[in-house]
Structure 1
Amino acid sequence: MLIRLHAMLCIVLIVAACPALAGTLTFPTAGSMPVLSFPASVSVGRDRAPGSVLSVASGNAGLATSGANCTVTKDVTVNGTLVPGYTNVYQTGVPGIGVHFYITAYFNDTWTDVPTSQSFNVPDGKTPHYTRADLVVTGPVGSGTTSNLPSMFIKFSGSCIETVTATQTLTGSTSVTGNSCSVTTPTLAFDLPRAFSKNLPSVGATTGDTTLSLGLNCPAGVKVGLTLTDAVNPANRSSTLSLAPGSSAAGVGLQIVNGETPLSFGPDSAVAGTVNQWIAGTSTGGAMQVPLTARYVRTSTTLVPGSVNGKATFTMSYQ
């Protein structure tokens, strides 16, 4: 007997389709990023404090979401060259001038530094979402025109949305002038009158006030800072100038006074905020006079007659 066996092979194909993206995210909502630009020209003191903001440009890119029920990540980076020593300020082509970018944090009005990365859940609807760029001082300011400005790149991604990217650029250029003054009286030689012990009866007593003026020529608006340095003892931070070699007197020193205030000595530095730097005034443009008075001051209960000589240098800071 012939027995025939029939075998049946059933192949079942199960196709797992990828789930459709559940939501949408639109950025920017107007179809293009805000136009951000700085003024055509900026004039700033050469030694303005690093971190000073010269101009702010900001705009609303807008953000819209619908049905995005997953965690969304926002990555923001910068296409540019960092200023040495900074982690978020980028070069502009002008010495001492940089750009610092910001973007709205999450869905509130708080600015956050760029670069940044944030993950969050997005509510449905439209909301403002701002971008911002600051023109900032990073060091001694030179003169020139900004070029090859940095740009900010924004990317939204998540499992429930198509990845969305946009680039915030800066338009135009800015001519930067780093202002400084010329010193028209580079040396002041005070010839103090003879003083007697009766003129200096106790420690702290002063006599022999002699006034000369330091002459400058400055552009309008420059805030002039000045630091005096003890040439004999540069580490001196008191208001009494050390006696120079060749002085034979003892128990007496010298003071340099602006108005009624004896000036304390500091380091030879033009950086804004240097120890014992003081502001002589803000120029209205043209000639500027800074009066300084030199005088004797008694420093000890024991007073030895003799010659008194001192030497100080001054460093100008144009802010």
Structure 2
Amino acid sequence: MKTTAKKMISALFSAPQLCVIAFMAFAVSPSARADAIAFGQEISIPKNTASGTILARHYITPQQACGASKCTVQGIQAYPDGGGTPSTSTVITTNVSGISTRLWINGRAYGTSYPGVAFTQPIEVQLLSDGRTNLGGSLAGVHTSPYYYSLNIKENFNSTFYIYMRGNITPINGTCSVPNQTVKLPKTLLNRLDRIGSTAGTQSFQIQINNCPKGYNRIGYTLDPVGGVIANSPGVLPLTGGSSASGIKIRVENAQGAPATMGTSVTVAGYNKAAGGSFAIPMQASYIRTDATATPGTVNGAMTVFLDYR
């Protein structure tokens, strides 16, 4: 009698909470060489957040900054409180107590400086909690010329690009909570994953978002794979510690089996500003074969759930 050894794989997938308030993105309408107005609307923000927490992000494309796909910033002037004396600090105050701002280019923060840096990806204007009491109010600035940043961009032929900020900050008492959880996928035979892209061992789970207070205009969540997003592999998590299999990873999917959106804020459906509440987001996870050669063993992956508020 001929017997065949069963090659098994197993997985442990964890989705830990990280109580960080971050990643609020606002759309920017590109127009060549126009000054930028960041935010420009009502922004509801948790009142008590740790100093340094990113509260909001506004993106400015190269097309908007210089009318091309690549811009070169020769000089930057950063103005605390929207005017006055320039500062070399990479974090400057706004005129709203508790809220500071930071200019982020190519993964680096800049104050007043002459960096000579080129960018092809959007630059960011960030709002940060700075440890002062968040009293709310308008971001418009307190000086005669209330811009927060001025950029000398080579492609603009000596014309200065100004970054203003608008919008009203409303502090809200309280945030939602996301409990940690571990999702165990069933053991699966390796021969069920017979080609690249094949999946098996689907396990349903839910992301729980609990006890959201009233008052926010929008609450969103962002799924962030531990180890980073894998290019051209939507929803796939990098292997984490304790993994012994190779060529196999875990893919996180929505309830319909489509790859989950990673790295982008998704609105929590059903949240109502007047009511608040708790919400369950149905998801599922599966093994996925990612390489031509695969070996059995344990497959571990993890992702962080970030919450953002507006």
Give the TM-score normalised by structure 1: 0.45
Which protein is bigger by CA-based radius of gyration?
1
Higher-RCO chain (CA-CA 8 Å, sequence separation at least 6): 2
With structure 2 as the length reference, what TM-score do the two structures score? 0.46
